[in-house]
Amino acid sequence: MLSAATLLLSGNITVALASLLRAILLARLLTLEDFGIAATFSIAMNAMTMAFGFSLGQLAIQARDAAGARMQAGLQGLQAIIGGMLCVAVLTLAAPYADLMGTSEVASAYRWLALVPLCVGLVHFDLFRQQRRNHFGTFAAYTSLPVLVSLIAIWPLFVALGDWRVMPAALIIQAVTALALSHLRSHRRYRLTFDPTVVRRGLLFGAPLLGNAALVFAIFTGDRIIVAAAFDPGVLAWFSAAFMLTLMPANLALRTLNSLSLPRLSRDAEAGRDPAQAIRETCRNYALTAALLAVAITLIGGPVLRIAFGPAYAQAVPILTLLAVMQALRCARGAVDVLALSRARTGIILRMSVIRAIVIPLAAFAVLHFELALPWLIGAGIGGEVAALLLGLTLLHRRLALPMSVAIAPALGLSVTLLAIMMVTYHPVLAVTPAMRALPALTLLAALLIPKLTVGLRPRRGVRP
């Protein structure tokens, strides 16, 4: 199991780093405006990934009869139908999407992305069946190698095309490579069937997951869509670079923390143990990681952005701290996610996502109608994260009878840290005082010590249904 976990973790890290390197390489090769246009193709790719949120591959792993040839063929048939429908949707919506992004002149290029859902729809589900037997090699190759191939293809594509067209070409190469790998590494013959029973099971299983995937897409991509609609491609370019620079470490931190925390919390819940200590440590670990993330980005994010993406992207440096605060709050919210998952209360996670997603259309209206600047958009996101976190903590307290006191100390340490880095960055006096650069590190130290000096109350007996 250790080798399987290491294999999956290595694959996730490879995908994250290759995606970041691809973005950096494109930023270095393309003009600022061309990179902004390229970012709109990335947004479209995220939308298509969201549309496959039925997660039929997960059903192929979970279902007891999924190892059978009949069930696998039925799931592959349903996946092909979804892929075909999305292919038609991309062809139909390419022009309206181009108008929304302010890139009407490249509408025909968006239609080429219809090849992506077509490829995903024809993926061989044997890679999921093999996971049932703890064989993760094919899945790791399926997730990581296509991104590496698209990264390697960037330079030849740039030599041949020389502009934003490199991005859609790389995305299509990635999709074709993934399709080819799924078939080359399969052991069973590829078949498609239309089985009404399998279709019904797939839709019932995937509909809630699709709803959550839509919320996640709105949260992760909504800000960039608003920027694309309200500003020119150049602004979208440097905003996307800054957003990616803060998002990647936050995602890696959350995946690692979830993998470490969920098994222990689940065992404690099944055994009926007093959860106070485990919950206290979980809240502290997520808060400390969030604080460390925010401090690190504040201190070194600007130089890293300039070195990686180039001086043309230095315009994004003033918003890095705001983005770091938003991602830190999302990281802290991960503690509520993992606590809810350990008690099989996924509805709490969905409610938090709904609250966070509601901010997106409100922010879009405010930015487009009142012509507000980017910091207001990010500030709305920070407000949404705070509201979602407070709602999650309240629901944990009411539904699971967990004491709020265990979250007070970590939340206090995180709040002090985030307020300190905001003051150091944006206060008219403190921001220009060199001695204040050490303040975030000192507040992080406070975040480390305060939770250890505070002992939470014992939880109430009983869990409210």
Question: Within this chain, do residues 394 and 438 fall inside the same structural domain, yes or no?
Answer: yes
In a domain, 31, yes or no: yes
For 174, residues 6+ apart whose C-beta sits below 8 A from its C-beta are: 146, 147, 149, 150
Cβ(299)–Cβ(440) below 8 Å: yes
Among 165, 190, 215, residue at a domain's last position? 215
* pLDDT tens series, the chain, 465 aa: 445 556 666 777 888 889 889 999 999 999 999 999 999 999 999 888 887 766 787 777 766 666 678 888 888 899 999 999 999 999 999 999 999 888 888 999 999 999 999 999 999 988 887 776 667 777 778 888 999 999 999 999 999 999 999 999 999 999 999 999 999 988 888 888 888 888 888 888 777 767 777 888 888 888 888 998 888 888 999 999 999 999 988 988 887 787 677 767 766 666 666 667 778 888 888 998 898 899 889 888 999 999 999 999 999 999 999 999 999 999 999 998 888 877 767 778 888 989 999 999 999 998 888 888 899 999 999 999 999 999 998 888 887 776 667 778 788 888 888 888 888 788 665 565 555 656 666 666 555 555 554 433 344 444 443
What b/e string do you get for 247-263 counting C-beta neighbours within 10 Å, with b at 16 or more? bbbbbbbbbebbeebbe
Task: Verify that 344 and 382 share a domain, yes or no.
Answer: yes
> Domain check: are 121 and 270 in the same one?
no
424 CB-near residues (< 8 Å, 6+ apart): 298, 430, 431, 436, 437, 439, 440
Residue 224 is assigned to a structural domain of this protein: no
How far is CA 139 from its chain centroid? 19
Domain with 210 in it: 2-215
- CA distance between the termini of the chain: 35
Which residue, of 185, 215, 245, is where some domain finishes? 215
Residues 320 and 181 both lie in one domain: no
| Residue 303: partners with Cβ closer than 8 Å, 6 or more residues away | none
* DSSP assigned state of 68: S
Domain count, the chain: 2
